[in-house]
Amino acid sequence: MGADLVAESADACRLFEMADSLTGLPITRLCAEGPLERLTQTDVAQPAVVVTSLAALAVLRASTPLEFGAVAGHSVGEYAAYVAADVFDAETALRLVHVRAQSMAAACQSVDGSMAAIIGLDEEPLRSACLTASYDGSSVEIANLNAPGNLIVSGERGAIDRLGALAREAGARRVLPLNVGGPFHSTYMRPAADDVGRALDDLALRRGRIPIVVNATAEATQQPEALRRELAVQVYSPVRWIQTLRALAGIGCDRFLEIGPGNVLAGLVRRTLPDANVASFGSMADLPAARELVAS
């Protein structure tokens, strides 16, 4: 993950070295060599995703005239989006992500929690099922609204098990347990949100150079204080990605470029906005398609 970017670009190499230094973790080596079991653990995965996204952004900016109309980031991806909008620099993003990742990993130790994908059920019946499944101090919530018919729930395992049966009764086609480190974007992450909030307290954020559509509200903002609140609140709030994409379309975005590892978000754009032009850039092999999209 990101190895070819490092080989191609001194800027990408510098960003990975910065991630290693700021986190005290071998992010560069783990991204290039694994093992996958360690790379996907929360404390490593979050800075790894962000630094790969920042490296891809640096490579793309060096090779292609690039002007964004607006930006958004899915969950931890918001940190890279803030850098793209010049709210803060890459070093600040990586410092904050390290706090977020460490704090979320610690919060996961306090609960036997996980997440599950619910396929083929709309938001309101799923929300109702979550309320029914949550009792005796064991809760489950909608965590990600990724695309129509593709929603993610998060919570304590017992509540997720109860929710699975209720979701099927309500019409869900599939309930798929996810192999994740804990109940992200749920009330169980509030202690981590407090840590992120404290890390942000004395930090100067700039006004966004372009609009950022934020996860928790799916509203566009450039205001520093709204952006500051978002980074804490989003830790335990649902990622409203369907609404985020529709908000971007509503302010005139019709070309969507996913910058970072993989192409999952590009697929979600296609499902939510079928008429949009979409490409991904996370490795050098993606560069021709990204340039074509930008130039179109």
Which are the catalytic amino acids?
75, 185
CA distance 224 to 222: 6
CA distance 252 to 268: 18
| DSSP-H helix ranges across 64-89 | 78-84
Characterize the bridge pairing of strands 113-119 and 150-156: antiparallel
Contact 269, 245 (CB under 8 A): yes
Contacts of residue 95, defined as CB under 8 A and 6 or more positions apart, other chains included, come to 22, 199
Which residue in 95, 110, 104 sits closest to 41, CA to CA?
104
> What is the number of H-type helices and E-type strands within the chain?
14, 8
Burial letters for 22-48: b for 16+ Cβ neighbours within 10 Å, e otherwise? bbebebbebbbeeeeeebeebbbbbbb
DSSP-assigned beta bridge partners for residue 80: none
Backbone angles phi, psi at 222, to 5 degrees: -125, 5
